[in-house]
Amino acid sequence: MEGPLGAGGEDTGLSLWAALRAHTGCRRCGRGYPIAPACVAPWLDPIPPGACPRCAQRPIGGRCRSLACRMGWFWIVRTHVVLGYKSGDVQRLVLAAKDGAAASAVVLLGRLLAGFVLSHPTMPGYDILIPVPFHRRSLRGRPVHPLTAIYLDAAPALRTAVSCDDLEPPFLIQRRDLPQLRGRSEASRWGAVRGAFALGFATRMLRGARILLLDDVMTTGATASECARVLVEEGGAAAVDAVVIVRQPWRTRIGSGVRPIHPSLKS
């Protein structure tokens, strides 16, 4: 495959999954492990230039409506998003990895993560990349933790751009299981994660560091922000930015159902 979907980025009728599996190399990616997200741009709902830099949500009425941003709770300075907003084929690929632990989805997301990090001009400025940790109870019957599996698959390629936590032992741990967060309000999510994470061991290695924190899906940002708080307050990090595979778009009630907020919606 040469560039996005072939010459000129025209729609070939392929699904994102099929296009990724058919991607055997191009001028942008070469023939190695990474796949640049630009090569699958037609399937992405990208983060617009005017999005909130902290939480990567589209502004509504000219301002960020995130509760955390409005209340000053966000410990993340900037959020980078690999595949844009979670919708369509991107959502199906992410859910195949998260809910189904599909090995092929894990590998494809790892390749896209590596392609994003290796092509992004700011990534060499970070001192270390650290994934959001998990509690063993959160596996809930899955053979692997999806985010950790994506991270470990991509790590050899990622290390060519930024140092990576080898997880032996990890810099961050999740010390208690979290309740199911899907469907909870923003405020409830922020309360649920408070105190759930800690440093994996006493260390001075993070003092003054610029850390890049990896998560798979950012919904309210509560989990990533709580990890960032620990890295700054307990680890002494200078700043923490996030890189997430997808961003959950704003949702609002329209009629009897719940629908994503359209960028033009004002309130």
**Span 15-65, pLDDT tens digits:** 898 889 888 888 888 889 999 999 999 999 999 999 999 999 998 888 898
What residue has token string 């942008």? 28
The model's pLDDT over 145-156, given as tens digits with 9 standing for 90+, comes to 999 999 999 999
Verify cis geometry, omega within 30 degrees of 0, for the bond prior to 169.
Answer: yes
Structure tokens at 102: 């599909």
Q: What is the pLDDT of residue 254?
A: 32
100 phi/psi in degrees, rounded to 5: -100, -10
Contact 217, 98 (CB under 8 A): yes
Judge whether 158 and 129 are in contact, CB under 8 Å.
Answer: yes
What are the φ/ψ torsions at residue 45 (nearest 5 degrees)?
A: -105, 90
pLDDT at residue 225 above 70? yes
β-partners of residue 243 are: 80, 214
Q: How far apart are CA 42 and CA 37, in angstroms?
A: 10
Q: Which of 99, 175, 181, 167 is nearest to 137 (CA)?
A: 175
Q: Are 41 and 4 in contact (CB under 8 A)?
A: yes
The tens digit of pLDDT for each residue in 113-162 reads 999 999 999 999 999 999 999 988 877 777 789 999 999 999 999 999 99
- CA geometry: angle 245, 33, 5, nearest 5 deg: 70
Q: Show the domains of the chain with their CATH numbers.
A: 61-85+120-260 (3.40.50)
Contacts (Cβ under 8 Å, ≥6 apart) of 110: 33, 149, 150, 151, 153, 154
Check residue 251 and give its pLDDT. 62
* pLDDT at res. 52: 96
Instruction: Specify whether the CB–CB gap between 197 and 226 falls below 8 A.
Output: yes
- Give the distance, in angstroms, between the CA of residue 99 and the centroid of all CA atoms in the same chain: 16
Interval 235-266: pLDDT, tens? 999 999 999 999 999 764 333 333 443 333 33
- Report the C-alpha gap between 20 and 261 in whole angstroms: 28
